[in-house]
Amino acid sequence: MFSLHYKLTRPVTAAIFLGAIAWATPTLAAGTDTAAQPQAHATRQAKKPVDVVDVQIADLHKKLGITAGQEAHWAQVAQVMRDNAKATAELVAAKRKNEKTMTAVEDLHAYAEIAQARADQIKKLAEAFDTLYATMPPDQQKVADTVFREHKRRLWRQRHAAQRHQS
């Protein structure tokens, strides 16, 4: 039972934790040097989520080509990303602090709390990004579409690679 619980909760918890700070990660966008990815990933894991999100915000700003006229909207998106990273890190830390003494039911409730927080965070990010996206000309919107599409593909590949590795 422990083995099954471990296999199910560890990748899911990791995915939620990383997803909170990386949902809009530009390092997952097209054009990233794949040879540098393992080293960059290891570096990100060694840093605090709130520190990592600032790097991701700067990269995303550059990839999206945010203009001076879009800065106010961008600042709102960046703040939501920072708030999301901090909130998720706190929830995950609380769960990890207590996980050795948690019952299966408590563990599931803690996981549900993280998952619900993540869903709420994505909604907040989407709302902030909607406003920014509306200010973008069509060419810039296409860039944003590509960045986000590639990001989702990469997360999917990473999640499935982690699952195969733990099997």
pLDDT in tens, 61-74: 999 999 999 999 99
Residue 35 domain flag: no
Average pLDDT over residues 96-121: 94
**Distant-in-sequence, close-in-space partners of 69: CB < 8 Å, separation ≥ 6:** 135
162 pLDDT band, cuts 50/70/90, is confident
Query: What local confidence, expressed as pLDDT, does residue 43 receive?
Result: 47
Residue 106 domain flag: yes
Query: What local confidence, expressed as pLDDT, does residue 167 receive?
Result: 60
Residue 20 domain flag: yes
Residue 141 domain flag: yes
Average pLDDT over residues 40-48: 51
Residue 41 domain flag: no
Q: Does residue 21 surpass a pLDDT of 80? A: no
Residue 43 domain flag: no
**Domain residues for 88?**
2-25+49-166
Q: How far apart are CA 159 and CA 119, in angstroms?
A: 18
How many domains does the chain fold into? 1
Nearest to 12 by CA among 4, 121, 72: 4
Cβ-based neighbour number of residue 60 at 10 Å: 25
Query: What local confidence, expressed as pLDDT, does residue 158 receive?
Result: 77
Average pLDDT over residues 57-86: 96
| pLDDT tens track for 113-141 | 999 999 999 999 999 999 999 999 999 99
Residue 83 domain flag: yes
Residue 102 domain flag: yes
Question: What's the predicted TM-score (pTM) here?
Answer: 0.66
